[in-house]
Structure 1
Amino acid sequence: MHLMNEFTLHADTAYKLAEQKAAQYFASLFTQVKNRSYVPALTADFHLWKKSHIHHHSWLSFFSRNQRNPGSADYHRYIQWLNYTGKLNDYLDRSISYIYMRDLGKALDSPDTQTRILRMVADIKDQLIPSAAAGGEAQPDMLNLAKLYRWAQKEGVETATIWVITKLKTVSANLPEEMNPEQAQRKLIKIIIGVVMHVMEEMEENLAPAERALRLDEAIRLGYSYGLTYPFIDDLLDSAVLTAPEKEQYSRLIRQALLSGIVPELGEWDGEKIPLMEYVHSELREAFEYIKNHQRTETQKSFFERSYVFFHSQEIDRAKNLSHDGYTNEELYIPVILKSSSSRLIVRSVISAPLDDGFDQRTFYYGLYNQLADDFADMSGDMLEGAVTPYTYYLKYRQQRNDLINPFEMYWTVISHLLHNVFHSDPKTCEVILDRVINGLKRTRERLGRDKYNEIMGIFAAGSPEFKRLVDRMVHKAEDVDFFDKLLRDQLLNTLRNNRKEKEEFHDTIKTVRGVINSQLLIPKPEGMTPMKELLIDAANYSLEGDGKRIRPVLTWVMGVREYGLEPAEIVPLLRSLEYMHTASLIFDDLPSQDNASTRRGRETLHQVYDAATAELTGLFLIQKATEEQASLRHFDPKTVLALMQYSAQKTGDMCMGQAMDLHSKGEDLTLEQLNEVCFYKTGIAFEAALVMPAMLAQVKEAEIAGLKKFAYHAGIAFQIKDDLLDQEGDRLLLGKPVGQDAGNNTSTFVSILGLENARKELWEHYCLASEALSELPRNIAFLKHLLNYMVNRNR
């Protein structure tokens, strides 16, 4: 209790000091708003600025189609256009300069900062130009898991990257729909990148690779741990997921953690909230402990104090009600100043970075500009939700309350204050901030539509008509004011939404096609058959009725029907043949003479229900049925079908060889190369066949078939590594079979050879190789991308 009182005392003192500083800042701004000093200052700034941004085009330029802006919606074409027109350098320079100023708290008049900005611009340009020229998926590299993992390999942070990929996937899976999972993921990714940038900025240039890797590893984990507060605290408390009493209970828990330095137990929750809150509590506790344990003794106090200031100011702001008509200007703005400045100062505390000269001042004053810009952009949504911001409150009470500050005038006042009082009229800073201001207004006009935008501006900019006309002209005419981080933000959200949609389609396709396959899979029993034949069919159907994933025939259906345009009914025999062959391989694999498994697909294995001899004969029977099905592909060229059957027979023989290699290797320590070979023959070939057979029927070019084989090789190995990892650490109920079988059978696996950590790395190496093979195919096959992601992320 003494510790709690001490923490509480420090926190209250810290908050009062921060509040006093915010009040002084507000008083200074209030004076400037009243006398509208921003108008002459920014008018002069804009007249100087517009010389570089309002261009007078000759009539000939309208006939130059090759130089027309394609629009930022097409990520790769837009980057190519910027490079083609010579605008890419300036585009990246203002974008990176803004990030250094906003996120890193740097002054742009520093020669050292300019050197770092130029170096980062060159690095990004080197990555962007080849990527844009290659085209492909319109998504940022940060969401391309193969490219992300290649970066991790280069930096030596594979383990942390695998960890954070898994964490992000789990967060997405656990967020309720009301919390907008895509926005939550975007914020998390943004915070992780921001923290990594902070840490990279603090590194010495001659840092040893091992130390650099260690710091980046910590930065990734710290970024996730800090970023988690946005979806799991801010968004959760702002959403309708929790009731008012539950929000109060949750807020008390967070406050207690910040005041005591110890996360308390969760407490009681009702039935439907228990799984969510248990997950949130567990993740936040782990994150809290990680951050706390990575604080230096001398920075721990400031970390807790800043975190408390941030949280408490948010709570004060969150408690406001739009129906209350008596809030003072101070009550509206001071919490906003506190939370906007604290959020960036916390990052420095999280990474235990020293504050350079002027950092605290620049960050403190800058935060309000960013918050007012965000609140202006979100105004419509905030009004609908009844949230209190300076904008929504002014919209509702401006005619009743003459004393209310117009937040748009406050916005321009803050900008003028930043340019001339904080950054001392530095030309580069003026250029970058005014670029950002006009870009923000352009984006708002585009989102709201011209009429709604003009209506809003008529309300907020009515007090200075000449300045409004100047700004309107800038918004309408100015060019070259777009920013890379906004492009990434838009692409990030689009990619997350598209990925979610494609993932839903992927699972819907599997469910639908799996149902079609299951309905036609069982072998019929004609009348008058012999008892022995009936026994074999019953045994075969028992194995076929198990809860199989049917990945191989589903894959064949998707490739054949969706990609190659084959008729669904015409390839049903091929689908059956693939599942018959696969089921036969499982029957043989489970036999006492081989793996001696007791359960498969959630049920007893076939030899347990019948006997080993019957199981062996059933496996042979299914292989013959597979051949019979392939021979009935009557709607295709006979030579093609014959070639397909020959290919199938060869691959079945190869699979037998792979099983023999596996059996003979029991008790032996295989090398990685040997295990890869066994894995390919046992597992990879089946994936290859599922891809190649429909391609053969469609008579696609050999180069494409070679690409499919390459993808199948690496995807198959990735699938097997995941199986080995699940055998070591999976859930028996989800798997439908016992875990630890490989160790019990004395079988060499990727885990036994490499260990858990290196097996995960090997999994991601093959994921990258499969993904890279996929990108080389002449068609973009979204299903294969999601199949690959499913293979490495599945839990069964």
Structure 2
Amino acid sequence: MNDRLQINADAGYQLAEKKAAEYFASLSGQLANKIYATTLTEDIQAWKQNHIHHNSLFSRGKGRSNSRGYYHYIQWLESTGKLDNYLDRSISYIFMRDLGKSLDSPHTLNRIQHVVNNLKEYLRRSNPTGNESTSEMFSMGSLYRWAQKEGIESTFIWLMNKLKTVSSNIPDGMNAEEAKRKLMKIIAGVILHQVEEMDDDLSTEERTRKLDEAIRLGYSYGLTYPFIDDLLDSDVLSEKEKKQYSSLIRTTLVTGSVPELGAWAGKSKELIRYIHSELREAFAYIQGRLRQETKDHFFEQSYVFFHSQEEDREKDLLHANYTNEELYIPVILKSASSRLIVRSVLSAEEDDGFDTRTFFFGIYNQLADDFADMFDDLEAGAVTPYTYYLKYRQTRPDLINPFELYWTVISNLIHNVYHSDKKTCEVMLNRAINGLKRFKERMGDKKYNEVMQLFATGNSKFDRLIQKMVRKADDVDFFDKLLRDHIITNLKEEGRERETFLETVKTVRSRINDMLCIRGNDDASLWEDPIMDAANYSLQGEGKRLRPIVTWIMGVHEYGLDESAIVPLLKSLEYMHTASLIFDDLPSQDNSSIRRGRPTVHHIYNTAVAELTGLFLTQQAVQEQASLDQFDPKVVLRLIQYSAGKTTDMCKGQAMDLNSKGKPLTLEQLNTMCYYKTGIAFEASLLMPAILAGKQESELEALKRFAYHAGNAFQIKDDLLDVEGDLEALGKPIGKDVENNNSNFVSILGAEGARKAMWDHYSTAMETLREMKYKTTYLKHLLHYIVNREN
């Protein structure tokens, strides 16, 4: 590394450190003089008039905020007339914290009201009328619809693919849900910044470009949280690897260029190789969009952020002699620089007072977060002002009480930074009391009271006032906290549901594999039976068994049918599907040599045997359906009639496909052919158990709509994999459509257009699914699997 560049970086850090030291000295003086107690007591006495209600009519009751009661709480807020104030204080706080705005600006207040109105309307539209678990706030489907509206569908698809890859590379030892939440929060914050920078008269094209850029910049910057901060805070890397990795990051920020990874001797070589590649791409994207006048500011703040994080990370809780300055100055620096970076990333125009407000505000947020996390940090041995005070408060009387400094920061912000603005005072006191309420709820009364005794400020009157507000004050909740809890809960539930879904799929696939073998009658042993052999050979391949799995899930989990009773139906679906593949692979049709990772039937036997085997399996499927002897015969007859009609339709679809070779198709023609070839099979796997369960026609029609869009999404993904997939993963040759001169979604729409069409079908299928309000989430995860699969 160039020594001169390092000297310049260190000089920039020293200037920032000097500014932070001056700020800390000012706070220390105010704390020593107990200024905060006098000013905040007066503020709270005025504030509490709107937040302590003696009439039980105003109590929250069942409307209390919690992550599982997200929608009910929003509904309760609206029914009691509290929603407007709730959203106003929430958005006002975000404008202060994330955008560095001052609430005494008429323009800012107008913007806040505009956001509040839009958010309120969105919440009204998205609130479910039935089962809460069937609706998702900011689901992939709803986000894709927003992306369509803004013309940034391709950006959304890019981001979903990036997030999927990031998730798959978060190693054990790191909190995957928290990492994803942080990344999404940063992206949302950058988008919010960008939206606030855009003029109302901006052209549609320019708005689309700016939103695209904001999403990519948000991802590029946000990636540093899981893959730099969280990674270095975890135990995933060895100490030697951490030093090597930190050196690489430092060199990048000092020189403005990402060095080659070079030799990596540690156990995390593959992880670091991926992270290095991804961060280098992200860094190049940010660098390519920085204006010259903001580039220096970006590197300065990035270095300050990284170096202050390193200063904190290297502290040892067993070291008993850290000064107050050593404890707090890095906190001031990292908390301020992290938000100043966002501004420079966007190359936003200079906003009068932004830097000053952001610099002074940061420590408030960091002290609040460190207070909430103090016991987790203590268990991890991390040094924060709170953990250090807990450990050494009895032997180090010189240590500043961080809880007392927290109130000093609030007083300083309200009166010295925001000039005693009434709305700022209201919002900040709401936030502070809410933070303590949340902590008390999480820790329990006993533990909370112990903590309050440990961090008592020495001013008993002020302490009693604060605790009175924590007990009695109401209407202090914030939407971002509710949303944070909701997202974390959803991520965890999604993870559990996905694991359950995949485990169910694995288990059911194994059961289905065990039941598929067709055994001949006694006479068959008298001579060789190549058709029986070919049928069993075709059934033994590593098929996904997707159709019978869907039937099993819906039949057993959703409709409560007896598993043993529907075994013939499961077998019939796989026999029919396997027969269609045998026909599809024939030389007269697609002429495929590999299917399910093995040579196709006509290559192992011959074309005649393959054709007869396909017919044999088709009739075997009908025979199995006729064996559904635990159901009403009329219902079974209806099912067989439905199945026969769909088999006819599938033949029509294959004929359409063969007739289309070498011909350009319209999208409408392709959608029709896709439905007949693929959608019908999905439809059958859903409708046949519903028919056996005696479901009404209205539900069958909804299942048909779902199957149509799910089937199209599946086929589009197949077409994309035919172009971009891997032979080993797919188990069949890629590029067959090109070789056979077949029209498909990629050839008609292009790869990008095909992805958009797939996500459009996904979103419509999800919307249909939400209308059906099933008690299980299996079909939702089936859709996720369809668009994310690699084979």
TM range (shorter): over 0.9
- Alignment partner of 1:294 is 2:289: yes
Cα distance in 1 for residues equivalent to 2:646 and 2:135: 39
Shift of 1:68: 5.4
**SS of residue in 1 equivalent to 2:173:** helix
Query: Match of 1:591?
Result: 586
- The one-letter code matched in structure 1 to 2:737 is D
Give the one of 50, 54, 58 matched to 1:56: 54
- Alignment partner of 1:560 is 2:555: yes
Q: Is the CA contact (8 Å cut-off) linking 2:63 and 2:72 kept in structure 1? A: no
- Alignment partner of 1:29 is 2:24: no
- Alignment partner of 1:574 is 2:572: no
Query: Match of 1:647?
Result: 642
Alignment of 1:448-487 (within 5 A): 448-487=443-482
- The one-letter code matched in structure 2 to 1:29 is L
Shift of 1:170: 1.3
Cα distance in 2 for residues equivalent to 1:721 and 1:712: 14
Give the one of 163, 166, 171 matched to 2:166: 171
Q: Could you report, residue by residue, the CA deviation over 1:106-138 in whole angstroms, capped at 9, with x for unpaired residues?
A: 000000000000010000011111322535545
Query: Match of 1:781?
Result: 776
Shift of 1:533: 6.8
Cα distance in 2 for residues equivalent to 1:708 and 1:8: 64
Q: Is the CA contact (8 Å cut-off) linking 1:179 and 1:235 kept in structure 2? A: yes
- Alignment partner of 1:546 is 2:541: yes
Query: Match of 2:68?
Result: 73
- The one-letter code matched in structure 2 to 1:438 is I
Q: Could you report, residue by residue, the CA deviation over 1:639-692 in whole angstroms, capped at 9, with x for unpaired residues?
A: 000000000000001001000000110001101000001100000000000000
Query: Match of 1:335?
Result: 330
Q: Is the CA contact (8 Å cut-off) linking 2:654 and 2:677 kept in structure 1? A: yes
Give the one of 93, 98, 101 matched to 2:93: 98
Q: Is the CA contact (8 Å cut-off) linking 1:70 and 1:81 kept in structure 2? A: no
- Alignment partner of 1:254 is 2:240: no
Q: Which range is displaced more, 83-92 or 265-274?
A: 265-274
Q: Is the CA contact (8 Å cut-off) linking 1:314 and 1:339 kept in structure 2? A: yes
Distance 1:303 1:183, change over 3 A: same
User: What root-mean-square deviation, in Å, do the aligned CA atoms of Structure 1 and Structure 2 show?
Assistant: 1.5
- Alignment partner of 1:609 is 2:571: no
Alignment of 1:303-318 (within 5 A): 303-318=298-313
Cα distance in 2 for residues equivalent to 1:115 and 1:709: 47
Distance 1:69 1:340, change over 3 A: closer
- Alignment partner of 1:361 is 2:356: yes
Shift of 1:780: 3.8
Cα distance in 2 for residues equivalent to 1:273 and 1:739: 33
Give the one of 625, 628, 631 matched to 2:626: 631
Q: Could you report, residue by residue, the CA deviation over 1:766-792 in whole angstroms, capped at 9, with x for unpaired residues?
A: 001111110111424300000001000
**SS of residue in 1 equivalent to 2:117:** helix
- The one-letter code matched in structure 2 to 1:634 is D
Structure 1 alignment gaps of length 5 or more: none
Q: Is the CA contact (8 Å cut-off) linking 2:172 and 2:236 kept in structure 1? A: no
Give the one of 344, 352, 366 matched to 1:349: 344
Distance 1:324 1:124, change over 3 A: same
Shift of 1:75: 1.2
Q: Could you report, residue by residue, the CA deviation over 1:598-644 in whole angstroms, capped at 9, with x for unpaired residues?
A: 11111111111111111111000000000000000000000000000
Shift of 1:141: 5.5
Cα distance in 1 for residues equivalent to 2:266 and 2:638: 59
Q: Is the CA contact (8 Å cut-off) linking 1:303 and 1:346 kept in structure 2? A: yes
The total of aligned residue pairs comes to: 791
**SS of residue in 1 equivalent to 2:391:** helix
Give the one of 16, 19, 34 matched to 2:17: 19
Cα distance in 2 for residues equivalent to 1:300 and 1:507: 46
Query: Match of 2:412?
Result: 417
Query: Match of 2:391?
Result: 396
Distance 1:458 1:61, change over 3 A: closer
Q: Is the CA contact (8 Å cut-off) linking 1:142 and 1:148 kept in structure 2? A: no
Shift of 1:272: 4.4
Cα distance in 1 for residues equivalent to 2:260 and 2:492: 35
TM-score by length of 2: 0.98
Cα distance in 2 for residues equivalent to 1:434 and 1:148: 33
Q: Is the CA contact (8 Å cut-off) linking 1:195 and 1:347 kept in structure 2? A: yes
Q: Which range is displaced more, 737-746 or 43-52?
A: 737-746
- The one-letter code matched in structure 2 to 1:711 is F
- The one-letter code matched in structure 2 to 1:675 is L
**SS of residue in 2 equivalent to 1:73:** helix
Cα distance in 2 for residues equivalent to 1:282 and 1:603: 35
Distance 1:22 1:271, change over 3 A: closer
Q: Is the CA contact (8 Å cut-off) linking 1:564 and 1:695 kept in structure 2? A: yes
Shift of 1:166: 1.1
Cα distance in 2 for residues equivalent to 1:733 and 1:387: 46
Shift of 1:12: 1.7
Cα distance in 2 for residues equivalent to 1:287 and 1:136: 40
Q: Which range is displaced more, 258-267 or 244-253?
A: 258-267
Distance 1:303 1:140, change over 3 A: farther
- The one-letter code matched in structure 2 to 1:24 is E
Q: Could you report, residue by residue, the CA deviation over 1:504-562 in whole angstroms, capped at 9, with x for unpaired residues?
A: 00100000000110111111134431677721111011110000000100000010001
Shift of 1:61: 7.0
Query: Match of 1:439?
Result: 434
Query: Match of 1:128?
Result: 123
Cα distance in 2 for residues equivalent to 1:506 and 1:337: 45
Identity of aligned residues (%): 63
- The one-letter code matched in structure 2 to 1:48 is A
Cα distance in 1 for residues equivalent to 2:482 and 2:350: 30
Cα distance in 2 for residues equivalent to 1:68 and 1:268: 57
- Alignment partner of 1:278 is 2:273: yes
- Alignment partner of 1:193 is 2:188: yes
Q: Is the CA contact (8 Å cut-off) linking 1:74 and 1:138 kept in structure 2? A: no
Give the one of 738, 741, 755 matched to 2:750: 755
Q: Is the CA contact (8 Å cut-off) linking 1:75 and 1:139 kept in structure 2? A: no
Shift of 1:7: 3.5
Q: Is the CA contact (8 Å cut-off) linking 2:404 and 2:457 kept in structure 1? A: no
Query: Match of 2:652?
Result: 657
Distance 1:479 1:533, change over 3 A: farther
Cα distance in 1 for residues equivalent to 2:153 and 2:29: 53
Structure 2 alignment gaps of length 5 or more: none
Q: Is the CA contact (8 Å cut-off) linking 1:726 and 1:795 kept in structure 2? A: yes
Q: Is the CA contact (8 Å cut-off) linking 2:683 and 2:707 kept in structure 1? A: yes
- Alignment partner of 1:703 is 2:701: no
Give the one of 481, 493, 500 matched to 1:498: 493
Cα distance in 2 for residues equivalent to 1:398 and 1:292: 45
Cα distance in 1 for residues equivalent to 2:677 and 2:31: 74
**SS of residue in 2 equivalent to 1:461:** coil
Q: Could you report, residue by residue, the CA deviation over 1:556-603 in whole angstroms, capped at 9, with x for unpaired residues?
A: 001000100100000000000000000000001111100001111111
Cα distance in 2 for residues equivalent to 1:389 and 1:481: 27
- The one-letter code matched in structure 2 to 1:180 is N
TM-score by length of 1: 0.98
- Alignment partner of 1:184 is 2:162: no
**SS of residue in 1 equivalent to 2:663:** coil
**SS of residue in 1 equivalent to 2:698:** helix
- Alignment partner of 1:46 is 2:44: yes
Cα distance in 2 for residues equivalent to 1:24 and 1:69: 42
**SS of residue in 2 equivalent to 1:74:** helix
- Alignment partner of 1:729 is 2:727: no
- The one-letter code matched in structure 2 to 1:265 is E
- Alignment partner of 1:224 is 2:194: no
